[in-house]
Structure formats: C-alpha cells, structure tokens
Amino acid sequence: MSKRHSVKPLFHFSIASLLSLLPYLLCAQSDDSLHIQVTPAEDVENLVFEEFIKKGNCVKIENIQQIGDIRSIGSFKNAQKSIGIDEGIVFTTGNLGDIIGPNFDTGSTGGQYGGESEAPYLSQVVRNVPFFDVVGIEFDFTPTSDFVSFSYVFASEEYCEYVDSEFNDTFGFFVSGPGIDGDGFDNSINVAKIEQKNDAVTINNVNHLRNSEFFVNNLTGIDADFCDIDFAPRDLEGFEFDGYTTKLQAFFSVIPCETYYIRLVVGDVSDAFLDSAVFLEGKSFETAGAASVRLQVNEGKPEKDAVGIKYG
C-alpha cells in the first residue's frame, strides 16, 4: 500500500504563485458569512428527512442508516458561492470542520476516521484497491412515480496533483430493487455517472484534463503551478477543497409502488490521506409526478431505462 504525507509537494512553485495568495491573505476575515457553514449530524434519520427529501413528495422512506463514522456526516449551508448549492447534507472522508475555508494550505484536509474499510459497492467503481474512511448514508424508499432524481457535488483535496494516479478517491450512489439488474454488488447500479459516456464520476474521470467542463478549479497558486494550469480559484476564502464538480443531477427509472434500496457513499482510495466529500443538495431527492398508467412492467424491468446525470 502506498503512503503519502498529507502535505502535498511544495517544491513546484514560483514567487509569482506565492504572491498570488497575498490578496486573499490580506483580506482574510473571521466573518462566517464568507464561509460555508457545517453542522455535525446528531441523528441521520432526522438529517435525511429534514435536509434531503423534497417536501410534498409521495415517497415512503424507511430504514435510514449511517455508513461509517457519524462525525463525518452533517448538514451544510451558505455554500451557493462556493459550490452552486446553498444547503443540504455532506459526508466526508475526514473532519467536517476541514471543509470550511480559507484554502491557503496546499494539503491540509486529511483527517482519518475508520481506517481501512470493506467497500463492496465502491469496488464496482474502482477495482482492486483498498478503501479507507468510507462514509455515507443508506435507506429504503418506495416511490409512487416512475422516476427519481437528486442533485449533488463531489469535491476532493486530491485535485489536481493526484489526477491519473492510484489515489482515485471515489464515491457512488448505488440503487438496487425490482427491475434493476446491474453488475454491481447485490445487482445494484451506480447512478453517479456521466450521461452517454457511462463513466463514473471520479477524480480520474472529471478533472482539469478530462471532462473539464464539469470541473471547478479552487487551487492555490502553488497547486496551479504544479499542474501547469491557470490560477483561477472559485472561492479560496470560503471553501477548503482544491477542486470539485459542477452541480450534477443523478436520475434513474423505477417501478411505482415498489421498494428500492439506495446507498450514497464516498471513500478514500489507496490511502487515508487527503479527504474527499459529497454534497447532496437540500430537498432535491424527489420522485417526479404521480404514478403513470402508461408505465408497465416488461419482464420485471421498468419500461424506461434511464440512468446517469444531468448537468445544472
């Protein structure tokens, strides 16, 4: 197993890159309104009902469970400027407090909860690697419509130095149930994918080199120099992570009135250093419309077979 220091390489920098941080350092304030705000969860059941499920939806939610250490699960708000989502649920492979800006250090987010983890679901996204600090939520749901969707952002401190490396921190939204015959654990499918490409949303698939239209740069000058990209951070003051996706939308077809299982999870890959996180948009889990007469079961599968992400 490879080992790294939690501090990224500092020998690839220029005087210009150091000076580029000066305006941010001079303007740094303690005003909470400038930062994303994070609150640790006390109870994941209340968290899901209060922060994630769209009010007024005819969907039954049961058996809500945490995955991993609850200290890495919480709610967030005041994040519109940073990630394009104002509030919702967050789970991270490290400390919740490390999410908050400013991002002046090249590798500070590296908390470790849980150690090496069994991750049969994540193993379908990144194979033959060890996982660490796996965390997330899971629950059963029974929709009355034929379609489910929700919005999210994936963020990581592995950007940009470890793109195309073994440290491909990853996440997934795994759904199983009637009519779903996937190739993942328990016949599940991963609905966190790039539409039409069938690529999972991972560090190695979405970054400054690949699918860059879905990547947001929040790198310090030192990191930008190291990766030979422009110094153009989104929000160094308010948000710690070095890079993240644009707001994406997961969606998938279901059979109305049947019960499904969903597992939303993120994990460090190959070592426990340098955190990653998933931000679920508040009140975005919804089942669109009412059950439709036109939707018929065909050999146990939904008539539609849509799965992937839309872009917001």
* Long-range pairs of 257-260 with CB within 8 A, sequence gap ≥ 24: 257/142, 257/143, 257/144, 257/291, 258/142, 258/143, 258/177, 258/178, 258/179, 259/60, 259/140, 259/141, 259/142, 259/177, 259/178, 260/140, 260/141, 260/142, 260/143, 260/175, 260/176, 260/177, 260/178, 260/180
The token pair that represents 55 in the structure block: 């009010």
β-bridge partners, 137: 66, 264
Q: What residues does 67 pair with on adjacent strands?
A: 136
Per-residue pLDDT, 212: 92
**Looking at the domain assignment, is residue 5 inside a domain?**
no
How many structural domains are present in the chain? Answer: 1
pLDDT digits (tens, 9 = 90+) for 70-106: 999 999 999 999 999 999 999 999 889 889 878 776 5
* Residue 46 in domain: yes
Higher pLDDT, 163 or 131: 163
Distances (CA, A) of 246 to 32, 173, 214, 290, 312: 23, 17, 5, 29, 7
Residue 6 located in a structural domain: no
Find which of 72-81, 182-191, 195-204 is predicted with most confidence, using mean pLDDT. Answer: 72-81
Residue 1 forms part of a structural domain: no
For 122-131, 144-153, 196-205, which range has the lowest pLDDT when averaged over its residues? 122-131
* Residue 9 included in any domain: no
Classify residue 297: in a domain, yes or no: no
In this prediction, residue 119 has a pLDDT band, given cuts at 50, 70 and 90, of confident
Split at pLDDT 50, 70, 90, the class of 280 is very high
The two structure tokens encoding residue 203: 């560090």
Does a structural domain hold residue 79? yes
Give the pLDDT band of residue 45 (cuts 50, 70, 90).
very high
pTM of the model: 0.82
CA distance 139 to 52: 12
Residue 19 domain boundaries: 15-292+304-311
**Considering the domain boundaries, does residue 298 fall inside one?**
no
Is residue 139 very low, low, confident or very high in pLDDT (cuts 50, 70, 90)? very high
